[in-house]
Amino acid sequence: MMQRNMIQSKLFFLMIMGLLGSFSLFSQQNPTPEMLMGTWVFNQSASVERMPAHIKTNLQTSTDLQQHVATFYSGRLMQFAPDGTFAISFSNGQTFTGQWNLEGNLLNTVTAEGAAATQQIAFLDGQNFYLMAQQYSEPDAELMFPELYFIKN
């Protein structure tokens, strides 16, 4: 009898954990536009932490690569407005603007110049989100940051 109660308790615990996990997964996979609205700053330490090891090693030794990160990633701001407009600002003063929308967990952007991108939002809550960066069609191309982490500003 005692063994049966232990088994039932374990099954109940696993069911609860499964339900909690599915709610968490649902919220991460289906962000709302309201969750994304506002200003976000690039979280360099979290993004570098998940960078492929060989690229991380190159980043530590290459001044050109360090300058590229400083120019296009460090201090990057992304702003998403309720009217469907966005702006991405870089530390060198360059800014891109355009339109954005969400389709499930896909963030679609089109710049004023017409460049379109779709990225998967892998996680979004009130203070953090990260994007799974687009893969290039060229087989030799490798992403410096496969995951881009941001913190609400």
pTM of the model: 0.75
Q: Please, how many CA atoms are within 13 Å of residue 117, restricted to the half-sphere of its CB?
A: 18
Strands (E), 5-135: 38-42, 77-80, 85-89, 95-103, 106-111, 116-124, 128-132
- Res 70: pLDDT: 92
Neighbours of 97 (CB within 10 A): 14
- CATH, domain range 32-152: 2.40.128.280
Indicate the SS3 state at residue 84: coil
Positions in the chain short of pLDDT 50: 2, 4-28
Q: Which two tokens stand for residue 2?
A: 């005692």
Q: Could you report the per-residue pLDDT of 74-115, keeping only the tens digit for each?
A: 999 999 999 999 999 999 999 999 999 999 999 999 999 999
- Res 138: pLDDT: 60
Rounded (10°) angle between helices 63-72 and 53-61: 100
Structural domain boundaries in the chain: 1-30, 32-152
